[in-house]
Amino acid sequence: GIAEVKTGAAANFPAANPMDVLITMQHAIPSFHARNAVWLMNRNTLATIRKFKDAQGQYLVTDPKDGGVLRLLGNPIVEMPDMDNVAAGTAPIMFGDMSGYRIFDRVEMSILRDPYTLGTKGQVRFIARKRVGADLTHADRFVKLRVAA
């Protein structure tokens, strides 16, 4: 149920003005949510985006200052290793307000005390287990980029 913006090129970003599709994405969600929105992409896609320049030859991704975060068109970039790489038919970039995504506890944390495994060394081992889940709660707060003509 997440809205899509297509790149207009079959297997990559368009050769002329590749930033146009990202600007279209940025304006595809309501202003209220765009203020708090972040860019989501993996490291390979980020490497591609970081090479984009404006007419004056300036890079469009701003480098962090004093421990800050990378920014694209004024919004922070968050690396998500599970996102797709740029290829035909994939969705390598999302833009949205993370308040529309929830992470929740599935099972309460359990801790097991194991005095036997390392007992000969005078140590006690603790084994902790916790399960979490996540779900999209508001699809209208996100837009994804689809690599397609």
Structural domains in the chain plus CATH codes: 3-98+138-146 (3.30.2320)
Long-range pairs, 71-77, Cβ under 8 A, ≥24: 72/22, 72/39, 73/19, 73/22, 73/23, 73/26, 75/26, 75/34, 75/37, 75/38, 75/39, 76/38, 76/39, 77/38, 77/39, 77/41, 77/46, 77/49
Q: Which residues contact 68 (CB under 8 A, 6 or more apart)?
A: none
Q: What percent of the chain has pLDDT over 90?
A: 66
Q: Is a pLDDT exceeding 90 seen at residue 127?
A: yes
Residue-level pLDDT at 9? 87
Q: Reduced to 3 states, what is the DSSP secondary structure of residue 32?
A: helix
Burial of 44 (0-12, 13-18, 19+ CB in 10 A): middle
Task: Answer with the residue of higher pLDDT: 149 or 24.
Answer: 24
Q: Are 117 and 127 in contact (CB under 8 A)?
A: no
Q: Is a pLDDT exceeding 90 seen at residue 68?
A: no
Residue-level pLDDT at 65? 76
Residue-level pLDDT at 49? 92
Residue-level pLDDT at 138? 93
User: pLDDT tens-digit profile of 78-87?
Assistant: 999 999 999 9
pTM for this model (two decimals): 0.79
Residue-level pLDDT at 18? 85
Residue-level pLDDT at 82? 93
Amino acid identity, position 105: D
Q: What percent of the chain has pLDDT over 70?
A: 100
> Which of 17-26, 55-64, 121-130 is least confident?
55-64
Q: Is a pLDDT exceeding 90 seen at residue 53?
A: no
* H-state helical runs in 5-124: 19-26, 31-34, 43-50
The structure tokens listed for 147 are 């690599």
